[in-house]
Amino acid sequence: MDTIIGQGLDRSEGRLKVTGAVRYAAEQVEFANLAWGVLVQASIGKGSISAIDSNAAQQAPGFIAILTHENAPRLASNKASAMQPGEAYPLLQDNVIHYNGQHVALVVAETFEQATHAAALVKLSYAEEIPLTRLERATDKAKKPKNFRAGDEEPDASRGNPAAAFADAAVKIDETYTTPMEHHNPMEPHAVIAAWDGEAMTLYSSTQAIAGSQKRVSESLGIPLDKVHVVNLYVGGGFGSKGSTWPHVTLAAMAARVTRRPIKLVLTRRQMFTATGYRSKTIQRLRLGAAADGKLVAVMHDTIAQTATFGEFVEPSGLATEMMYSTPNLAVTHRVAAINVGIPTFMRAPGEASGMYALESAMDELAYATGVDPVQLRLINYAEKDEQKDLPFTSKTLRECYAQGAASFGWAQRSPAVRATRSGSLLIGQGMASATYPSNRSEAGARVRILSDGSAIVQSGTQDIGTGTYTTMRMVAAEALGFPYEKVQAQLGDSAFPKAPVSGGSQTSASVLPAVWAAAKAARAKLLGLASGPSNQALQGAAADDILIADGVLSLKSDPARKISIHELMASAKLSAIEAKETAKPGSEKKNYSAHSFGAHFAEVSADPDLGEIRVTRLTGAFAAGRIVNAKTARSQYIGGMVYGLGMGLTEATEIDARSGRIVNASLADYLVPVNADVPEITVIQVPEADTVFNPLGVKGIGELPMVGVAAAIANAVYHATGIRIRDLPIRPDKLVMA
């Protein structure tokens, strides 16, 4: 039978999505008695609520209830987990205002329109204080993080004597790079339907973490875990913003309990800018010391990132720097400054996206300072192992990424001189940067059921966030079973299925698919054991490796005439299904190895020297990210990540009014994301790699890797075109014209 893993298959749900047949969280179930919730948010940046006047709202048509800090049920717990600090958001438990846009009330009415109208009638009085809303004004208050990466990593790292080595270096780069606040902006807004049935509740929630939402709501409301059922069949994008259980989920559950009615709550686009996290703004100082030939002798990377006054999230921008290049002397620090904003969260490639922009920009500056080609500079400083952890990599195929990417892009034909290439009146520039993202894996479970008609069902409590998990689960199960792909169906998105981790950190494939493989192999073994057992004369005593499964029939390879259908076999045993459930989890590989995926980006831009307009005309990415399960959906992930990085480089920034803390561009009309006209020709190269050290299938994750380094490659191309180095993202025309 042909190998299924590695083929390029259409996604299972593709036709349903393009025809509009898919039902997302807010659409999954119709309730006859459904009520709507609409949130009221604070309009000041700091202070407290002194009075709430809801009289007009209560007289409005369709009004059912209003929850405020004065009457909301007291929570059993509002303590955030170490990895989900965003879950510490205020939940109507007191009158303190931490930032502009904080939820201060939830209005429930019969219809969405009535709830929206009633919410607009709620009047709040405040005791207002002056907010601190700019990271630049809080750097003197920056502190060492208390809970960096949930305690799994130290915020500071060092080796050798970097300060002395930098002082003595023949070539020095000492620059500061800044990245702005950015928001995820998935197409599907955050949404939830909360419905109680006695003392049990069901949540239809748009989430990247079904098991996490189940646990969080259980703890917050003080109800047993098995009394919380979470369903989420499809996610219309999340990019990290749906990894936490944000306040609207818990508030909807509270309102449903109070009103004894199912509650639907869908955030507006503006509310998604203040209620579901964002990428933290960073100020990063990079110091590179090198010999005249470009060999690094010292690297120092210091990050200050913003966080909230009521919780801590740290953008780990320097982690990639610790392992990316070979140097005997290194120092990395992380500091956070609390200001009056919502708490940041994981946004596609957290830390690596912002940190590698700074590092790869500094490496480009070093290339020009030493006269060494940017690709060659990276090869000169190639790290054969993780020098900070003193561990070998589980796999590293970065050299091949550089080689194949450069060859495809035509890097050898590039003139190294700045402002040397033109197309008519436009300046043309080419730049490159490295990409990396850690390979993550968590414990996950799966169940496989072989049915009497020769088909199979594979189940896991994971979620498909748009990456093609339905399809890859089917592919892996089919190959492990020896069944045709068409005979296997995947079911996921339900907390009733075996537990799986959050779809974040590019870990779903690496976590869930080994569990699917193990469960399918176990189910196949049970089927073959039944076939060769004493009750089946056709294949009695047959060795497992001598049994062929094809078209729902088991036969002997050595004697094809001896055969029996799966239906006949299971009917004789009075079985309707054969089932196996397995769990796969990491072993000691994290202790003995350093696990990462790698890649290389090459970008070409055109620049109008008079108007400052930048257009990316070509992007090429070469990536090595373990064994590829579905070549087609993998390519889509790579392209999507590169477009995401283009937005980081050229368009995206969240703007705050410093006086009030209000986000002034909280819409897709004003928050600029790349559209079709912005996206150039994109070439993706999937460099073969199988990492069986990391997991038995050799699979890593790819969702975040391709956006890392894109912004730096574009910034480096802009410098090559114009001779202007922009160290403050995004690169917009005004920065070039005014430089």
Residues catalogued as catalytic: 704
Q: Do the beta carbons of residue 472 and residue 630 sit within 8 Å?
A: yes
174 CA to centre of own chain: 31
Q: Do the beta carbons of residue 87 and residue 244 sit within 8 Å?
A: yes
Apex CA 176: angle with CA 718 and CA 317, to 5°? 95
The residue length of the chain stands at 739
Q: Do the beta carbons of residue 31 and residue 193 sit within 8 Å?
A: yes
Give 3-state DSSP helix, strand, coil % of the chain, rounded to 5: 30, 25, 45
Q: Tell me the C-alpha distance between 34 and 91, whole Å.
A: 23
Listed in order, strand segments (DSSP E) in 309-442 are 330-339, 421-423, 426-438
Q: Do the beta carbons of residue 160 and residue 167 sit within 8 Å?
A: no
Q: Tell me the C-alpha distance between 597 and 687, whole Å.
A: 11
Which residues have a Cβ under 8 Å from the Cβ of 575 and sit 6 or more positions away?
A: 452, 530
Please, what's the b/e burial string for 445-461 (b: 16 or more CB within 10 A of its CB; e: otherwise)?
bbbbbbbbebbbbbbbb
16 CA to centre of own chain: 24
DSSP-assigned letters across all residues of 677-714: GG--EEEEEE-----TTT-TT-B---SSGGGTTHHHHH
Q: Please, is 486 exposed, middle or buried when counting C-beta atoms within 10 Å of its C-beta (0-12, 13-18, 19+)?
A: exposed
Tokens of 559: 């004697």
Q: Tell me the C-alpha distance between 665 and 671, whole Å.
A: 5
Listed in order, strand segments (DSSP E) in 481-595 are 488-491, 547-550, 553-556, 563-565, 577-584
Tokens of 725: 């180095």
Residue 656 DSSP label: B
Strand order in the sheet with 157-159: 157-159, 330-339, 296-308, 282-290, 171-179
Which residues have a Cβ under 8 Å from the Cβ of 226 and sit 6 or more positions away?
A: none
Q: Do the beta carbons of residue 683 and residue 603 sit within 8 Å?
A: no
Q: Do the beta carbons of residue 247 and residue 274 sit within 8 Å?
A: no
Instruction: Please name the amino acid found at residue 658.
Output: A
Q: Name the pairing type of β-strands 103-109 and 444-451.
A: unpaired
Q: Do the beta carbons of residue 193 and residue 230 sit within 8 Å?
A: no
The secondary element (H helix, E strand) that includes residue 352 is helix 352-370
Tokens of 28: 């999954």
Which residues have a Cβ under 8 Å from the Cβ of 42 and sit 6 or more positions away?
A: 49, 97, 99, 100, 101, 102, 103, 104, 124, 126
For 604, list phi and psi in degrees, rounded to 5.
-120, 135
Give the 3-state secondary structure of 74-137: CCCCCCCCCCCHHHHCCCCCCCEECCCCCEEEEEEECCHHHHHHHHHCCEEEEEECCCCCCHHH
